């Protein structure tokens, strides 16, 4: 009783506002920093999914299950699963999560990812373990947390797969991929990853975890490093794409 009263006072004194649309979040909405309306506006990709990048195929020709982009690009991963379109509410939520030190959004975003994986029966548990896409040391110091690691830990808790975060590393601090055009993104990220624990990787089926799959260049380069170290297969899961 006393706790509930205290909580009510706290909500009156410090009301919380939706990070995306800025409306006041009603009392008792324990989900926190994104309002119900914004949460409901995030709709997952619909099948048919591209068998390589996981995004919805807009116009599937009979028997085709690759999107236009994946027909021309070679990815080093076997396939990616991407939950939701990277736009509007979700784009803003991910931005707050990454750049404005809003780690509290991590559980909301992880929840979205878990829901997608469960609803579409994505066979994550066929992998041996999860690897979050690592940040370069300098970026990790600046941001203080790795958003991909937060997602990986929450996925791991939910699906019972271990997280291995001492096998893959960033060799160098690449320029941000944001704002680069398609071909610069591929060039910028080339050779950015290394493996420092071959034993952990050899003959394993690895699931890479990241927040967003844009061109797929980052995930593909990470997969290239893992395959080079003997990984049997590399899959990718991201919230948005
Ligand atoms: Zn809102
Ligand atoms: Zn595709």
Quick one: 140 and 202 in the same domain? Answer: yes
Distance 93 CA to ligand 2 centre (A): 24
Identify the nearest ligand to the CA of 22 by its number: 1
Quick one: 122 and 9 in the same domain? Answer: no
Distance 101 CA to ligand 1 centre (A): 19
Give pLDDT, residue 88: 94
Domain CATH code at residue 223 = 3.40.50.2020
Give pLDDT, residue 130: 98
Question: What residue numbers bound the domain in which 18 lies?
Answer: 1-39
Let me know: does 29 contact 43? Beta carbons within 8 Å: no
Distance 16 CA to ligand 2 centre (A): 39
Cross-strand bridge partners of residue 80: 236
Q: Where are the alpha helices (DSSP H) in the chain?
A: 2-13, 36-40, 68-72, 88-99, 105-119, 137-143, 147-159, 182-189, 198-201, 217-228
Quick one: 161 and 177 in the same domain? Answer: yes
Give pLDDT, residue 202: 97
Identify the nearest ligand to the CA of 93 by its number: 1
Tally of structural domains, the chain: 2
Quick one: 22 and 62 in the same domain? Answer: no
Give pLDDT, residue 13: 75
The one-character DSSP state at 78 is: S
- Helix-strand-coil split of the chain, %, nearest 5: 40, 15, 45
Give pLDDT, residue 194: 96
Quick one: 47 and 27 in the same domain? Answer: no
Identify the nearest ligand to the CA of 82 by its number: 2
pTM: 0.89
User: For 77, what's the count of Cα atoms within 13 Å in the CB-facing half-sphere?
Assistant: 27
What are the residue ranges in the chain where pLDDT is below 70?
A: 1, 11, 30-31, 60-63, 103
Identify the nearest ligand to the CA of 45 by its number: 2
């Amino acid at each position: 009783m006393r706790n509930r009263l205290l909580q009510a006072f706290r909500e009156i004194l410090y009301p919380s506002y939706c990070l995306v649309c800025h409306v006041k979040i009603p009392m008792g909405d324990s989900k926190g920093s994104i309002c119900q309306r914004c949460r409901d506006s995030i709709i997952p990709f619909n099948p048919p999914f591209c068998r390589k990048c996981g995004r919805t195929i807009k116009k599937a020709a009979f028997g085709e299950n690759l999107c236009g982009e994946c027909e021309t690009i070679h990815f080093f991963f076997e396939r990616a699963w991407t939950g939701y379109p990277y736009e509007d509410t979700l784009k803003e939520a991910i931005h707050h999560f990454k750049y404005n030190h809003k780690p509290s959004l991590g559980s909301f975003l992880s929840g979205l990812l878990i829901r997608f994986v469960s609803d579409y029966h994505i066979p994550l548990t066929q992998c041996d373990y999860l690897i979050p896409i690592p940040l370069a040391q300098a970026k990790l110091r600046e941001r203080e947390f790795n958003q991909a690691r937060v997602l990986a830990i929450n996925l791991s808790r939910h699906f019972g797969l271990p997280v291995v975060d001492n096998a893959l590393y960033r060799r160098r601090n690449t320029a941000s991929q944001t704002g680069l055009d398609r071909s610069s993104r591929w060039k910028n990220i080339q050779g950015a990853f290394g493996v420092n624990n071959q034993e952990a990787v050899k003959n394993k089926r690895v699931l890479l975890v990241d927040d967003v799959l844009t061109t797929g260049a980052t995930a593909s380069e990470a997969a290239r490093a893992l395959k080079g170290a003997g990984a049997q297969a590399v899959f990718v899961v991201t919230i948005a794409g």
